Chain A
Amino acid sequence: MNETSLPPALDARLSLRVFDGSSAFVVEAELALPSGVLVLFGPSGVGKTLTLLALAGLLDVRAGHIRLGDETLFDAARGVCVPAHRRRVGYVPQGQALFPFLDVAENVAFGLPRGQAGVARARALIDELEISHLASAHPTALSGGERQRVALARALAVEPRLLLLDEPFASVDEEGRASLRGVVAEVVRRRGIPAVLVTHDASEAQAMGDHMVRFARGRTIAAGAPRALLDAR
């Protein structure tokens, strides 16, 4: 099959407005990802995380569209909006957001059907992310890197068609960062799923990204290969 005839893994144009008290913040973003990892790059407070939330269906989008392969998740003009719980989009927030009343294994299995199949699938992911020794640990007992692995396993458990990672290495120490980057790159490559990664770290953008968009003041202002965009700064 000719690869160029395939639709892009992710194609999105988003216009959204969020209110913070009395003021409104507007985000206008255009994203295109043929395959691999798309990096949303820029300083804090420019709309990267809001864009991620919108892709997940967790924020109301005023206009635009979100297409994942040949499926439309959102299209304002056509009145299409697949709710968040039916998008099968894996989301790992910056704070990981592990459920505090569940242990690691239960966190990973949270989105899976109850029963043996769910337990086995959670177990396989726990092994894959090398956190077997933490299966019965409480989230508060974990390091930043361990929490990130649990959150990643939990997101992967539901076999997402798109993975959204918000500053996945921010809470990880320097030593664990390289190892975790390898883990994230490997799980994405192995599954062949597209991923969108938010970061303000240039080295991280370059190491992880196949494609990149730069954000400034709520808008995407440039798109291209990470190295080219970072060199052009």
Chain B
Amino acid sequence: MTADDVFPVVLSLRVSVAALAVIAPVGVTLAVVQARARYPLRRLVDALIFLPLILPPSVVGFFLIVVFGREGPIGSVLDAFGMRLAFTPAAAVIASAVVAFPILVKTAQPAIEAVPAELEAVARTLGLSPLEVLARVTLPCAWRGIVAALVLGFARALGEFGATLMFAGNIPGRTNTMPLEIFSSYQTGDDARAALYVGVLTAVSFGVVFAANSAPRMLAR
């Protein structure tokens, strides 16, 4: 394999890991809030979390260009500091993060909701503050679901295509992640190259999901 062949693999993994690093703390925190807190706009926030999952990726990509593009509310501020996001690897990270976010939150949330409230109540009476209860009771009880959420989030980020194409483009040697490379290789008739990335993506996705399924059982021994 040449450096050109390896680049999309490395880029995809780096983009997915970076996207997961961005959304994991925010997503798990939001899952806890949605699972436990009762506030007036909770249903509205729920719907907003779901949105990137329901919308076509091209629509998500369009929104990202509107927000982060040079004319957008955030993009124009960044532009003033000489920074541009669109059509950069960072744009691929943002696109993957946004699309993976709902899967992460909506997988972690039921796991947190399933933790018996009685356990948390007892922990409070034993002198633990709400944050300590979260760290010492809620998360240890829900960790399998949270791991599953992180794995699914990573897998979704790894396979992200549409929003990345819109927002990060398909620039060889810069933003051509594996899914984009499969598309462009197939378009140009290079089926062997497309098959290579199909194989890598399938193997990595299967390996990650298999490891995530096996880890809780191995750790429980």
Contact = CB atoms under 8 A, between A and B. Distances in A.
Interface of A: 53, 56-58, 83-91, 93, 95, 97, 99-101, 110-111, 151, 154-155, 157-158, 160, 164
Contact of B125 (A90, A95, A101): A90
Interface stretch (B79-87, B115-123, B160-168, B181-189): B115-123
B116 A85 contact: no
Interface string B128-163: 111010001100110000000000000000000000
Contact of B121 (A90, A97, A99): A97
A54 B124 CA distance: 13
B129 A99 contact: no
A91 B121 contact: yes
A120 to B, nearest CB: 18
B37 interface: no
A155 B124 CA distance: 11
Contacts of A160: 125
Contacts, number: 64
A164 B118 CA distance: 14
B69 to A, nearest CB: 45
B25 interface: no
Given A97-B116, A154-B126, A56 B121 contact: yes
Nearest to A93: B118
Main secondary structure of the interface of B (DSSP, over half): helix
Contacts of A57: 124-125
Given A97-B118, A97-B119, A99-B119, A85 B124 contact: yes
Interface in B5-25: none
Contact of A111 (B121, B127, B130): B127
Nearest to A94: B118
28 contacts: A53-B121, A56-B121, A56-B124, A56-B125, A58-B125, A84-B121, A85-B124, A85-B128, A85-B130, A85-B132, A86-B127, A88-B127, A91-B121, A93-B121, A93-B122, A95-B116, A95-B118, A97-B122, A99-B123, A99-B137, A101-B141, A110-B123, A110-B126, A111-B123, A111-B128, A151-B122, A155-B126, A158-B126
